[in-house]
Amino acid sequence: MIDVFKQLIRDVKSEKLRTFLTVFGIVWGTVAISLMLAFGTGLHKQLVKSTAGLGDRIVIAWPGLTSIPYEGLGKGRRIRIRDDDLAVVRSNVAGLRAISAEYSNNMRVTYGTKTMSVDTSGVAAEFGDMRNQIPQSGGRFIDAIDVQEQRRVVFLGDKLAKDIFGESPDVGKVMLVNQSPFLVIGVLQKKDQDSSYSGRDADKMFIPSTTYRALTGEKYVSNFIFRAEAAAMGKRLRFDAKDKEALSMWDTTEQFQFFDVFMLAFNSFLGLIGVLTLIVGGIGVSNIMNVVVEERTKEIGIKMALGAKQRWILSQFLLETMLVTFIGGAIGFAISIAVCAVFPKLGLTEYVGDPVVSPLVTLLTAVALGVVGLVAGYFPAREAAQLDPVVAMKL
């Protein structure tokens, strides 16, 4: 091993340009494969994060009109859902993790001299977790006691809170909602949300569903949100479970599944491009090592004449190739990590995410480097090991 290092140092000193070009090919290939996979991973995480802003694998359902006759009832009937219906479903459907009604309308909000119309939702306590309504420090979302006691409390979107209170503290303040005093119990923590069904959460406010009904007299839900199958609603509300029109549903889990499949294919494509780039670098290394073998033919012949065995010659040139590959790969990784560290400061996270050199990316790149280095060095090394010492010394 010491002899290999000494020989490598001599080659570097005597052929600086050739060594630089050899290492550069590996560096370029390593940067290509690691950064492509890192950006692919970052984009996947950002897509999932933005989609989760709407809710974490939830189904949103809207009552509609029946399109299939059921138990003697004609089609075209309007489906009306009450909180009682959802309570029955909650207690009877196995595997139902959470369900919440949502009543929606605009309400008049007054604070000091400010008056505005705000999109308001009346919801249950489970709504906050399903819709990722994470409160800022010092506040909270609506809980079960708020709903049970019909408390006049309100949870505000972060942008709405700023529009109403400016930069002053908001939690604990009292404002008028449809001329009734409401206590602000929490403000939404800023979140990425790339889709919605009734406006961005940052501009909305949420109150207990029971308080909403008491304030407005509304009996029927605008929509409901759950994590389970909706077929159990059919029997109670008397419509065919296969009737797609009776309940219009948006299953966000399908988006997550699509992202997983799409990004797997996308990352595979990026990884393939990176591997091909690395292979090109490996071909350059192999060509250079062939030149090295030709230049050192006489030296190889002398060593073999002095007793060096074929496996030692093979190992020497293979180790030299692997060392060059390792050095180029290490430099490439360092460049990739530096790029990943600097990129978030450019302010493009919202659009493409932050690249991440994950353990999986590191492992895949290291495996690709090892295979390319081994293949690139093996054939020149085998050629050197198979030289006839008598012929080699004459060249």
- Place 85 in a pLDDT band, splitting at 50, 70 and 90: confident
What integer is the mean pLDDT of 275-299?
77
How far, in Å, are 30, 42, 259, 271, 275 from residue 361 at the CA level?
11, 11, 19, 9, 12
Q: What is the pLDDT of residues 126-183, one digit of tens each?
A: 999 999 899 999 999 999 999 999 999 999 999 999 999 998 889 999 999 999 999 9
d(CA 10, CA 230): 74
Give the Cα separation of 79 and 69 in Å (integer).
13
Residue listed under structure tokens 């949420």: 206
Rounded to two decimals, what is the model's pTM? 0.64
Nearest to 282, CA basis, from 250, 328, 217 = 328
pLDDT of residue 176: 96
Instruction: Name the pLDDT band for 60 (thresholds 50, 70, 90).
Output: confident
Stretch among 33-42, 115-124, 281-290 having the lowest mean pLDDT: 281-290
CA distance 142 to 121: 12
189-231, pLDDT tens digit by residue? 998 777 778 788 999 999 999 999 999 999 999 999 887 654 5
Say how far apart CA 285 and CA 18 lie, in whole Å: 10
